[in-house]
Structure 1
Amino acid sequence: MDWTDRRRRFRAILAGDRCVHPGSVYDPISARIAEDLGFELGMFAGSTGSLAVLGAPDLVVLTLTEFAQQALRINRAGGLPLLVDADHGYGNALSVMRTVQELETAGVAGMTIEDTALPQPYGAGQPRLLSVEEGLGKMRAAVAARQDPNLVILARSSAVTIAGTEEAVARAKAYAVTGVDGFFLPGVTRRAEVEPIAAAIDLPLVIASATGELADQDWLRANRVRVGLQGHQPFQAAVQAVYATLKALREGTAPKDLQNLAPPALMRQVTRESDYQGWTRDFLGG
């Protein structure tokens, strides 16, 4: 697997002049579907990782090992550059270094490291930000830990939603000098929340919801928003499909009468059946 090529393709997106909407993926099949449909980038979130691996909500109970293993399964299945949500780096700044090492080895093209106090401390109630000093330590550690200089490290901060735009601007300025490759803004919904940050730092931006007034491509281009997530609906759709199919079977529907099943041609495509048939002929004499 040429991980460096995928990272260079992701860097080309960040250096480009338009906003790309990544495909939300969570396992090998979903990643292959996104790649086959022409998505330039895949996004593997901590929330979908927790759902896919543990069947648990996004409470940061997934371990680094579990997350990195799933990222490797996704990357091994195709050639789609993968951006992952590495949460808080699974601990302190030294843990961030380990996180970068594990996810780089798993083949990701880029990752976000955030400055939220995670997992939720006892008695915290509402989300809290780390001190700027601790956040800086994590960003510097992440940059120092990567071996492939093409690996993308994005600083992530929920400061806009937790502490306001002014604090977000201050943190963006602080993190921009650590060597990170961009700034991820979760939770923003208005242009007025993004524009001051775009004006304050000379780095590409990533937003978690390129919808509503943030959907205009000209505005996104002008404010250096190079990646705009659209949510993680594919996992929700998969849950609904499995639920409906099992429910129908439980209620007596005959297998031949089930609706909305993937046709055989699509199953052959997403499982790369022709590749395996070729390998069987070449290496197993059949």
Structure 2
Amino acid sequence: MAFRQRREKLRAILTGSGCIRPGSVYDATSIRIAEDLGFELGMFGGSVASLAVLGDPDIALITLTELAEQMRRMSRAAHLPVLVDADHGYGNALNVRRTVQELEAAGAAGLTIEDTLLPQAFGESKTQLISLEEGVGKMKAALDGRSDPSLVIIGRTGAVSITNLEDAIVRARAYEATGVDALFFTGIKSRHELEAISAATTLPIVLGGAPEEMTGLDYLISQRVRIALQGHAPFAAATQAVYETLKALREGTSPKNLKGIASAELTSRAMREAETKQRSGDFLGLKT
């Protein structure tokens, strides 16, 4: 599937009347599993990118090159559209423009650019935001950086929990005015906050986590939420599985007695073994 088709699928989600929960993906295997299970969209979060590539916490240590290369691997492995958390765009507005170019070339269906001050400033323990003016400049640069008009650019802010609701609304309106395709909000803790933001804006909303009272799809749809994230449990589950398996082996458990191991059939499906065997027959003359 061409990259443009993937981007058009993401656009259809944003312009549709429903709300979907994307599958958290971080490498070639996880995106194939998500695709096989029928997820409409993959979410490549900044935290899992840092963990999968570096084994480091989400403190802006991963580079644009590393992020884009991991996205490229996933684009090759599956046809599932992927929304990428591009953090702050890896620098100022000009860096944001380059970030868009690299992720577009890597096959991302869409990406988010946020207004968090990253990396963390010297001597500051609390999360900070860049100025509204700099945030607007970053959104404009992101839009200028795309060559494929179907690539989705989403403006993101965590102002609700960092400054206040009023600031979040001002920022959202300003980002909307630049021409971004959707708005991404983190830190929303109540229906009042979401409803105020929804009433003040017109673009599709992506919600990065919410309390239990806000998880019902009918309610989210009524507030124009089109994508609702559920965190990155798959990576956490994989980490626990690796830990338990290695611990059991270290303690002397026989490989045949290990629990929670993927079946040969699931592993074969994830690695697309049948397709490879078919190509071996077609191109190498091997009997399958």
For Structure 1 versus Structure 2, the TM-score category normalised by the shorter chain is over 0.9
Q: Residue 177 of structure 1 aligns to a residue in which SS?
A: helix
1:242 matched to 2:223? The reply is no
Q: Which residue does the alignment assign to 1:98?
A: 98
Verify the 8 A CA contact 1:87 1:113 in the aligned structure 2.
Answer: yes
- Deviation string, structure 1 residues 9-43 (Cα, Å, up to 9, x no partner): 00000011111000000001000000100100000
TM-align CA RMSD: 0.8
Stretches of 4+ aligned residues off by more than 4 angstroms: none
Tell me, which stretches of 5 or more residues in structure 2 are unaligned?
A: none
In structure 1, the partner of 2:69 is 69
Once the two structures are TM-superposed, the CA of residue 211 in structure 1 deviates from its matched residue by: 4.7
Q: 2:218 matched to 1:218?
A: yes
TM (normalized to structure 1)? 0.99
Q: 1:211 & 1:124 partners in 2: Cα distance?
A: 28
8 A Cα contact 1:189 1:213, kept in partner? no
What is the CA–CA distance in structure 1 between the aligned matches of 2:50 and 2:216, rounded to whole Å? 31
Q: 1:41 to 1:34 in 2, by over 3 A?
A: same
Deviation, 1:189, is 2.4
* 1:178-233 Cα distance to aligned partner (Å, 9 max, x none): 01001000121211111111111110000111551111222111111000000100
**Would you say the 8 A contact 2:43–2:84 is kept in 1?**
yes
Give the match for residue 263 of structure 2. Answer: 263
In 2, the alpha carbon distance for the partners of 1:61 and 1:174 equals: 29
Count, aligned residues: 286
Q: How does 1:102-121 map to 2 (within 5 A)?
A: 102-121=102-121
- Superimposed CA distance per residue, residues 48-86 of structure 1 (whole angstroms, 9 cap, x where no aligned partner): 000000000101100000000001111110110000100
The 5 Å alignment of 1:1-286 reads 1-286=1-286
Q: Which residue identity lines up with residue 196 of structure 2 in the other structure?
A: P
Mapped to 1, the partners of 2:172 and 2:239 lie a distance apart of 37
Contact kept? 2:190, 2:211, Cα under 8 Å: no
Provide the rounded CA distance (Å) in 2 between the counterparts of 1:123 and 1:162.
Answer: 17
Map Cα deviations across residues 79-120 of structure 1 (whole Å, 9 max, x no partner).
100001000000000000000000000000000000011010
Aligned mates of 2:39, 2:49 — CA distance in 1: 20
2:121 partner SS:
coil
| Distance in 2, Cα, partners of 1:12 & 1:58 | 30
223-232 or 184-193: bigger deviation: 184-193
SS state at 1:55 partner: coil
Where do 5+ consecutive residues of structure 1 fail to align? Answer: none
Q: Give yes or no for contact 1:35–1:80 (8 Å, CA) kept in 2.
A: yes
Between the aligned partners of 1:271 and 1:248, the Cα distance in structure 2 is 25
The one-letter amino acid paired with 1:48 is V
Q: Provide the C-alpha distance between the structure 2 equivalents of 1:32 and 1:211, rounded to a whole number of angstroms.
A: 29
